[in-house]
Structures are given as C-alpha cells and as structure tokens.
Amino acid sequence: MAAHLITGAGSGIGSVLAERLAERGDDLWLLARDARRAAALRERFPGARTLVGDLKDPAKLSWAFGQQALPVELDSLLHVAGVVELGQVGELPVKAWQETLNVNLVAPAELTRLMLPSLRLVKGHVVFVNSGAGLNAHAEWSAYAASKHGLRALADSLRHEEHGHGVRVTSVYPGRTATAMQVKVHQQEGREYDAARWIEPESVVRALLTAIDLPRDAEITDITVRPGR
C-alpha cells in the first residue's frame, strides 16, 4: 500500500487527487494550515492522517513537524497547494510577492527537504503541480509566474540531484482549470467565470496519476495539460 503526502487537498485538483488515491486504498497524509482544517480533512477523508504546517511561513515547518509523527516511508510527495495575486509590477506590494513566493516556491522546497529521507527509502516520487504561468509570463502575472518559473527550476535541479537515489520528479503544467483559484483569477481580471470553458480537475489528476503509476524503467519529467474546448 503506497503512502502519499498531499498539499492543497482541501479543494480543486488536490481534493480530487486525494479522492482518487483514497479510492485505491492508498495511505494519505494531508497537510493542513491549522488544527481546524486538519480535523475537517480527516472528516472528509476517513483514515487519512494529517500534518499541520503553514505554507505561508516555511521557516517554521521544520519546528512544526518536529512536534508531530511523520511518515517513515513516502511513495509520493504531491505539491498541489498554491496562491495567486494578480497585479502590475508597479502596483504589487512586497507582501503579495512574499506570500506568493513562500507558498508557491519556498514552502515546496522546504517540505521536499524535510521529506527526502522518507522518499529515498522507497525510491519515491515528487510531483510539483506547476502552471502554464511557469512556462510563460504575461502582464499582471509577474509574482505568480515568477514563483512558478522558480518551481520549475526547483524540480529540474531536484531531479538531477536525486536521480542516483531513485527518486523521480515530475512537473505538471495545467492551463486554466475549473477550480476556486480560477474563480478568484476571473474576479481579479474583471471577467465572467464559466467553468465549462476550462479543464476539469479530474483531467489534471489523471495525467498526474499516469506519471506516478509509470513502471520504474521510465520517468515522466514534464506534463503540459491545456484546455481542450
């Protein structure tokens, strides 16, 4: 039975991913920002275990995990959580930059560092759910795109470093996906939101599961998923 640690399991892609892995009978470890959210996740996913740690404050993750039981062996670490704040470079405050970079880049790096011993034990898999913004940056997307470009670099470096340990690394680059984050993006853009125009979270999860289920003789390094409608 495989064990997976998921960030962002409370909604969107992360929620569907947790559901699919639970249906397979796999062990779930779900990261929550606080104890209240952790309790809600355990209620929603019976049998799942939770870790409490705030991705907005990655410097405290090591201390927080030192007070909790951690997985000894981890088959996959699935970075799905993320935040977005649109705005022109001339208008975005430092706080927006810092929160975006902390949640989308620094916290995944720190969480990966902390979980590498457990991943190496079973030749596990690290998956970074990136974004189309991690490949191309557009007007008003500077902070988010910068965080996702950095996440791509993190994944590429990690892949080279961990290949000898048998740890596989995959980046997934979804286009616009029908999630709560996309609702927020449309609000910030001043546009009407129509979920039918965008990728279903289920489709992104199917692509992701293909990567982690691949036999050990191969490694899918990058997956780009674009709206098909």
Residues labelled as active-site residues: 144
Contact 198, 227 (CB under 8 A): yes
CB atoms within 10 A of CB 72: 10
DSSP H helical segments within the chain, as ranges?
12-23, 35-44, 61-66, 94-101, 107-121, 142-162, 180-189, 201-213
Q: Return phi, psi of residue 27, to 5°.
A: -85, 130
Which tokens hold the place of 138? 């557009």
